[in-house]
Amino acid sequence: MAKIIGVKFKNTAKVYYFSPANDTEVYEEKTGVVVETAKGLEYGTVVFGAKEVDESEIVHPLKPIIRKATEKDEKTVKDNEKKIPEAMEFAQSKITELGLDMKLIGCEYAFDGKKVVFYFTSDGRVDFRELVKVLAAKFHLRIELRQVGIRDETKILGGIAPCGRTCCCASCMSEFGKVSIKMAKNQGLHLNPSKISGLCGRLMCCLEYENDYYAEVYKKMPKVGGTVETPEGAGVVVSNDMLKLISKVKISKEDGSEVYKDFPVDRLEFKRNKGGKPDDDDADEKVSEDMKKILD
């Protein structure tokens, strides 16, 4: 077992493990600390105090906490944040002046004040060597321009998702998971790009959260539009309630009338394939051009 402190950095939800400076130091939640990382010294916030975890959960070597943040450290962080708007404005003006095909989305000063990182998106590669020279001459610091993807752009900028909450990538997700159109199909969602894509234009990350449940339940449900045998005769499945395990079935009567009734799936008889899944499973096949765009 190893004793660790949980620390996270600005604009990230991922918690990183660090070793305490000594066994007597107490680190309370939300305490500012200065830690050593691969990038050098950085300022972070304690998420949880000292606790023991199994060695298998740690990526070695475990970096140490240098110290609790002092008033001077806190002031340094605030001063660095105050510089960002001016740096962004100047960089954007030079990008426009140089005619570079890139979208500036963020800026970050290193804690030690020796480097500034600019984040941007672009459809292709950008020759920004001249821009780096101009920025270095202006700020007299080491300049780093980092190209990120469209999902990272939303993570950096944040925003309100269709559910009304802050985007998962900007609030609670430690890293991006793999999301596929199959997950939307498993949940019985309409494959309308505007309904299942997030602010980034890609499939919503939350489709992954309950996918294991829906994938298992999907195997037990009949195909919408398929024929099933009910206690009241044969009918066609109109819709499925994946949470209640109920199917709405349209039953045609001998007099030509039609009735719609809900049946628990365990009271229905329908054909399944060898894998125990409905006939249309593995139908990740043909999607529209709009759907292809959000999968790219």
pLDDT in tens, 105-164: 999 999 988 899 999 999 999 999 999 999 999 999 999 999 999 999 999 888 999 889
By C-alpha distance, which of 8, 269, 13 is closest to 158? 13
- Angle of helix 129-139 relative to helix 71-98, nearest 10 degrees, comes to 140
Q: What stretches of the chain adopt beta strand conformation (E)?
A: 2-8, 16-18, 32-37, 40-53, 65-68, 103-109, 115-121, 142-147, 227-230, 233-241, 246-252, 258-264
Contact 296, 181 (CB under 8 A): no
pTM, two decimals, is 0.75
Bridge partners of 166?
A: 160
pLDDT tens, residue by residue, 209-260? 989 999 899 888 998 899 999 999 999 999 999 999 999 999 998 888 899 9
DSSP notation for 15-39: -EEEB-S-SS----TT-EEEEEETT
Separation between Cα atoms, residue 186 and residue 188, nearest integer Å: 5
Phi and psi angles of residue 54, each rounded to the nearest 5 degrees, phi first:
-70, 145
- DSSP 8-class letter at 213: H
